[in-house]
Amino acid sequence: MAGIGPLTQDWEPVVIRKKAPTAAAKKDEKVVNAARRAGAEIESVKKSNAGTNRAASSSTSLNTRKLDEETENLAHDRVPTELKKAIMHARVEKKLTQAQLAQLINEKPQIIQEYESGKAIPNQQIIGKLERALGAKLRGKK
């Protein structure tokens, strides 16, 4: 670098400062006590539900009261008696076990057991698979 000129160094001071305190740091007990000793103004505001075990809004009590007053019995539909009898009858006619039928429709044997015992929640896709595998109409009027 012969043609550029004399080399000089930059000796200006660089000042490194700490970051300004965050909101959480300003609320720290040590910082608050130090500010009190220094005579700074400190504002403390009590939150309305602070330190209590109550919900943020009182609407939950309204909801719980509505739920308590509700008398309707909600339950999932189960497999009707006609359907479970039709499945069992068609399966026995085809001389299939529950496990074999389950394998034919690519489902677990437990599903067939639930349908035949009436414990399953009816699923139209599974009923459709059963109709195809058994060659019998299980849904609708006969």
Task: Determine the pLDDT at residue 19.
Answer: 79
- pLDDT per position as a tens digit, 30-68: 888 888 888 888 777 777 666 666 655 555 667 777 777
Report the C-alpha dihedral over residues 34, 40, 46, 52, rounded to 10 degrees. 0
Q: How far apart are CA 52 and CA 48, in angstroms?
A: 9
Q: Where are the domains of the chain?
A: 81-134
Higher pLDDT, 29 or 27: 29
pLDDT reading at 94 higher than 90: yes
Q: What is the 3-state secondary structure (H, E, C) of 54-73?
A: CCCCCHHHHHHHHHHHCCCC
pLDDT reading at 78 higher than 60: yes
Q: How far apart are CA 93 and CA 134, in angstroms?
A: 9
**What is the architecture of the domain spanning 81-134?**
Orthogonal Bundle (1.10)
Closest CA to 45 of 24, 58, 20, 27: 27
DSSP 8-state code for residue 30: H
